[in-house]
Amino acid sequence: MTLFGTNHPFNLTAVPFSRKGAFLSIYENPGDGQLYFTHCRSEGVSILRPNLIRIAFMDGSVQLPFIYEADEAKLTVRTPKGTAEFTYDGPQIIRMRLKGISTRLFYEPEMHEGADIRAANELEIGINFMGKLLFKGIAGGFTTTAKWNFREVRPFPFTIDIFPTGEGAAEAAVHEYDTSGLPLPTYRPFEEAEAETRADFEAFAKAYPPVPEIWADDARLAAWVVWMSAMGPRGSLKEPALYMHKLLLVRTFVWHHGYAAMSMRGDARQAWQYLLTFFQFQDPKYGGLPDNASDKNQENWVSTKPPIFGYALCNILDTFDLSSLTREDYQRAYDKLVPYRKWWFVHHDHAKKGFPSYYHVDESGYDEASLFERGLPLMAPDLMAYMITLDEALAKLAEKLGKPEEARRWMAESKRTLAFLTEELWDGEQFRAKVTKTGELFKCGCAAQLQPIMLGKRLPKEIVRKIRDRVLDESEFLTEYGVASENKKSEQFRAMSFTRGPVIAPVNMQIISGLYDAGEAEAARVIAIRYLRSLSRFGPVLGALPYRVDPNTWQAMQPYDKNPIGNPMTAWAASIFLAIAGRFFPDYPQKNIV
């Protein structure tokens, strides 16, 4: 299946051609339309040098125009004179095959980088922070202009040419590694490497359940985005973890993995692995988790992310086939989650209120939301819902481990927080937030007021009905693309923002699943169909603008019909697409979706 292409709805400007475990990828620069090798190891959360090595396709000294298409395992570039093909030979080798044309690679080194001509057909490049690349000619010709510039303490800008000699194809390999490496003694046929890459994707994708036919191609694209975002074990990634993106957010984020796990309904063991994988970064003393991490010990402890593990774990325990899980799996989860829960109730409750607070906006996932207009710390309704499900999940695990007293204690804690949520934060119409320092209760337009619906049937029916009616009200939260992150009537609503208007992935997942679990399946599907249509149209983006906006006033003008806000093709949104499409439409009539 063609996933990306020059004449395709999606192209490689949004996401690079890559595979599971690969740091080196190929992407299209939206500015010049050229293809580049790019590396997703970066000092910053976003790539600082995305245009690492330009790839030009040549007929002698003439650069050729090209078009391309990419499927799950191969990128094919077509020119008027011939073709270039790229695939992976494992996560750390890109294979290249050229027919009728040559390729010229352009590189501009930084200070103290290196270029070592190791043999007539072999060049190693040392790149600051990223590691090393070894270019190896396999068949045909191989030349380079690499030369040291002693005045600037780096090589001069140089090229690598790979070209056919005679009638056959030219072939080369690009090895990526951290410290030292050697070429392979022999290289297997290009087709074998491609086939193995394709088989690896197919094996990974078996974790996802069938979806309605109308979304089958979208689900395959989403599964590929998740697969190619899976990184490690490597470096300080001791277990596989999902990167958010390989261009824009080149880190693994803590709450991403709960959504990924909920989508893997066809393989509870794989779901369990991804649910718990971020606990490899757990603070051994206090039990907390960082916001994000990388393979180079880059852990961000400024804040954390929403504690969705209880929500995800209850979903898995209640709706998955658990026959592949063992007591050891349940014990591992319990041993990780108990200190994690304590961290929230101790280190997020310095005021000793008995319930945790947000101490940083990133802990909620709402970067600039109206939820925080009264400041921090804050006891928010969504945080209480997360804690209710976390305690319930611990109770379920304790039961499976034969610990009935502990199970009863966790359920009592869950009910205590539920009572606080429904009796103190609920005002009869909506959930409010409570300023921790002053005790002030206040309303806002943020969708966090709706997110306790994730509790489903645990909430009183009257609260479920009130939330259902509000999320289906097109004058408040419902848009063409799903539920907005801010009430459209709110003075704080900004369509051109991140979390004060756009339709964002986690909010829609929680509202859809909560309504469904509360017995409001039709309401859940109304939102789900709109939301999945938006991801089908835009790809698995983190957020979609609900309206076209006036650039001067930011006021809504009409439904937005172009590319949505940043962070396209994220593994996070792809997982949420798969979780929604794979669960909430059993035997649902296709005509009702169309």
Question: Residue 566: its pLDDT value, please?
Answer: 56
Peptide bond into 233 cis (omega under 30): yes
Question: Residue 565: its pLDDT value, please?
Answer: 54
The structure's pTM equals 0.95
Q: Domain map of the chain by residue range?
A: 4-198, 206-593
Which architecture does CATH list for 206-593? Alpha/alpha barrel (1.50)
Per mean pLDDT, which range of 104-108, 409-413, 546-550 is the poorest? 546-550
User: Is the pLDDT reported for residue 549 higher than 70?
Assistant: no
Confidence of residue 166 (pLDDT cuts 50, 70, 90): confident
CB 390 within 8 A of CB 337: yes
| Cα distances (angstroms) measured from residue 48 to each of 17, 34, 44, 194 | 18, 18, 7, 30
| DSSP per position, 44-73 | SSS-S-S--EEEEEEETTEEPP-EEEE-SS
Give percent of the chain above pLDDT 90. Answer: 89
Q: Which two tokens stand for residue 468?
A: 């259902």
DSSP three-state, residue 510: helix
| DSSP per position, 373-442 | TT-SSEE-HHHHHHHHHHHHHHHHHHHHTT-HHHHHHHHHHHHHHHHIIIIIIB-SSSB-EEETTT--EE
Phi, psi of 226 (to 5 degrees): -65, -45
Dist. CA 313–CA 323, nearest whole Å: 15
Give the residue-averaged pLDDT of 111-133. 96
Confidence of residue 553 (pLDDT cuts 50, 70, 90): low
Question: Residue 561: its pLDDT value, please?
Answer: 44
**Residue count of the chain:** 594
CATH number belonging to domain 4-198 = 2.70.98
Phi, psi of 573 (to 5 degrees): -65, -35
Quick one: CA torsion of 158, 164, 170, 172, rounded to 10 degrees?
A: -20
pLDDT one-digit tens code per residue, 252-307: 999 999 999 999 999 999 999 999 999 999 999 999 999 999 999 999 999 999 99
User: Is the pLDDT reported for residue 359 higher than 70?
Assistant: yes
Dist. CA 465–CA 196, nearest whole Å: 51
Give the residue-averaged pLDDT of 131-147. 97
| Cα distances (angstroms) measured from residue 483 to each of 421, 486, 525 | 22, 9, 12
Q: Which two tokens stand for residue 538?
A: 């835009």
